[in-house]
Amino acid sequence: MLVVCSDTHSHTGHALTGRTREAVAAAGLVVHAGDFVSPDALDAFYEVAPELRAVHGNADDPAVTERLPTARVVEYAGVRIAVTHRQSGGPTGLRMFGREKDADLVVSGHTHRPTVVETDELTMLNPGSHAQPRGNQPGHAELERTDDRLSGRIVRPDGTLIEEFSVRATGRDTRE
């Protein structure tokens, strides 16, 4: 299972609770779209997640930004995933970022709002914030391979389903 998180905004640890903590600990891969804020939060994610691929966000301490890239590409179960915290230009900017990276899925954060936008060419996912939802539902995303797709869902830390979606798999099966 692939788990996607973003916008932890913690000074003391990973701030993972309930279903989010369980999913991160059980995942084959965790992708984080930035704003850990502190090195303690980043290190706590590395301790819980079996494998973590992350980018830094705009609120991250310099000690975090030195350790993480602004953007990266990850491949999981045949799906090419472009990850960034935020992209100027809103949804159009994210689509352009995804095209530039030849991505099937674009993961971003920053808004703290769980969102999925499916287009003919790619899917854009913002898992929301599991710890600091700022008036939105708290959330993370879970994706699993089913046939030629990744079946995904955005889930609250209490396990409540927010939204289901799917991402077309292109057949690649390597990781960064």
Residues facing 9 on adjacent strands: none
pTM of this structure? 0.95
DSSP annotation string for 122-170: -EEEE---SS--TTS---EEEEEEETTEEEEEEE-TTS-EEEEEEEE--
pLDDT value of residue 103: 96
Q: Yes or no: say if 98 and 92 are a contact pair by the CB < 8 Å rule.
A: no
Helix, coil or strand: residue 5 = strand
Instruction: Provide DSSP, 59-70.
Output: T--HHHHTTS-S
pLDDT score, position 173: 44
pLDDT (0 to 100) of residue 175: 40
Per-residue pLDDT tens listing for the chain (176 residues): 999 999 999 999 999 999 999 999 999 999 999 999 999 999 999 999 999 999 999 999 999 999 999 999 999 999 999 999 997 888 899 999 999 999 999 999 999 999 999 998 999 999 999 999 999 999 999 999 998 889 999 999 999 999 999 998 775 444 44
In DSSP terms, 4 is beta-bridged to 31, 141
What are the structural domains of the chain? 2-168 (3.60.21.10)
pLDDT of residue 169: 76
Q: Is 147 left (phi over 0), alpha (psi -120 to 50) or beta?
A: left
Burial environment of residue 66 by CB neighbours within 10 A (0 to 12, 13 to 18, 19 or more):
exposed
Can you give the pLDDT at residue 172?
Answer: 46
C-alpha angle 58-135-42 in degrees, rounded to nearest 5: 35
For residue 87, what pLDDT is reported?
Answer: 79
pLDDT for 90 equals: 85
Give the residue carrying structure tokens 């939204």: 163
